[in-house]
Amino acid sequence: MIAEVVALLIFLVAVYVVSTIWENRNLPPGPFPLPMLGNLLSVGLKQPYRDLANMAEKYGKLFRIHMGSRKVIVINSYEIAREALIAKAEDFAGRPHHFFGSIFGRNSTDLAFQTFSQRWKIQHKITLTALRLTADKANIALHVEQLCEKFHSYNGKPFCPRDLVYKSFGNCLSSLIFGQENKLDDCEVDKLIEALHIFAKSLGAANFIDTFPIFKYFPIEIIRKARQAAETRDEIFERKFEEHVSTFQKDNIRDLIDTMLKGFHENNARGLLTEEYLISSASDVFMPGTETPSTVMTWLVFYAIKYPDVQARLHRELDDVIGNTNRLPEISDRHNLPYLEAFIAEVHRIVSDTPLAVPHSTMRDTSLAGFLIPRDTTVFLNLWAIHHNPDYWNDPFCFKPERFLDEQGQLHVEGILPFSLGKRSCPGESFGKKAVFLYVARLLYRFKFECPPGDMLPGEEECDYGILLDCKPFKMCAIARRNEKR
């Protein structure tokens, strides 16, 4: 009897090994998967982007893993990413099912987690056009100055900048989306910021639930919190949207929602879209539009403190360009501040604030780097690996803004994908770049950032991973460089 059981087990193992090898014969190389678990034991929850980068050293810049029974292709190089996202954009424009994404995306009516379709293209066009036409409604400069006043109020004493930065960007996006007269009050902004923190944390845990869907029926705390956060967000956005619908006038466009409503009617989108999709688009603009630049801005302050020589060079460049003129840095100064732009690019690179982009999926049978990729294959874009690839970057773990400057000191940014590429790139890229530039330019022009005496910055490796890499809270001193009040 024992011999028969052993023989049966050997037979089943042989069948599993042979069938797995056969199924994967045309796919990129990768580790052999365990039954049911796949390669989950090789990919931790704390820093999966580093684990995947380490696997690339063995299996190559494009490799395959199994998340449970789901096959996943992992892209770890800039060149292969461009092939997928630019050369074969529609092939890789889909989205796999994403449990927390369906909560975050209001049952997949949003832009981020909805898969590619004609409906998505029209919704994307309406939102992108609305962002372009209403960017000035945000009045970025006003919110930067209010943040400067907050920094001034500490009179050089230690404080934690994180919550102040989040609140500032939250108010900025509120002005853009709802208009100056109808923007959110402080309590509503605070509720939405708390909700987006929960979303960011839950999205980092999504792979486990998507691999083992049965766990979505378990009383897991992060699922309860995500659903509660979604209810809080939806109550605010649905109420504000209804207020806009009831007062909408096509000849009096006040903000982003009004512009989307106008585009909705002009594009005759009612056959494909409902107003539910517009609410989701507005939420898409606020949530990532607040979380991502706030995270980046916090890291920019962090690295300005960590590398005082870099901060001193930034101050010199700002002083040379702006000097003691009776004005502050403007968006129009960007082309005259190449080192500041290089500093922002290097923070994007070394932090990789979104280390694993929202997963893609293939819309049809296709190929990548010479390998056949079947339809409905999940694709991970490992931005952290791309930004730390030693074959592309010299000293990838060293912080060197000058790597983005040529011999003449002119800006040359290539190889980083902070907003992704192609059809699924971030629709708020243009606005986000302008906002982050103006915030960091004016803050550095007005202040010198220092670590409080006796304090130390947290280590970069201590950051919290959700869908974003969030810097651990730290205290700083903002020393005024100019006494005049502007």
**Residue 402 per-residue DSSP state:** G
The one-letter code for the residue type at 459 is G
Q: Are 94 and 363 in contact (CB under 8 A)?
A: yes
User: Do 404 and 411 meet the contact criterion of CB atoms below 8 Å apart?
Assistant: yes
Please name which of 104, 50, 22, 63 lies closest in space to residue 396, comparing C-alpha atoms.
50
Closest CA to 277 of 135, 106, 115: 106
Could you tell me which residues come within 8 angstroms of residue 353 by beta carbon, excluding any fewer than 6 positions away?
292, 295, 296, 299, 418, 468, 469
Report the C-alpha gap between 165 and 376 in whole angstroms.
39
33 touches 66 (CB < 8 A): yes
φ/ψ of residue 236, rounded to 5: -70, -50
C-beta separation of 281 from 131 below 8 A:
no
Residues 289 and 433 sit within 8 Å (Cβ to Cβ): no
Cβ-proximal residues to 280 (8 Å cutoff; 6+ apart), any chain: 105, 106, 109, 110, 111
Can you read off the two tokens belonging to residue 368? Answer: 């990548």
Rounded to an integer, what distance in angstroms lies between the CA atom of residue 205 and that of residue 37?
Answer: 16
Q: Write down the residue that tokens 């034991």 correspond to.
A: 41
DSSP category for residue 425: S
Beta bridge partners of 477: 450
CA atoms within a 13 Å half-sphere pointing along the CA-CB vector of 219: 0
Taking the C-alpha atoms of residue 337 and residue 328, their distance in angstroms, rounded to an integer, is 13
Give the start-end residues of each E strand in 26-121: 62-67, 70-75
CB 377 within 8 A of CB 368: no
Length of the chain: 486
- The β-bridge partners of 378 are 72, 361
Q: Does the annotation place 426 within a ligand binding site?
A: yes
Return binding residues for heme: 426
Return binding residues: 426
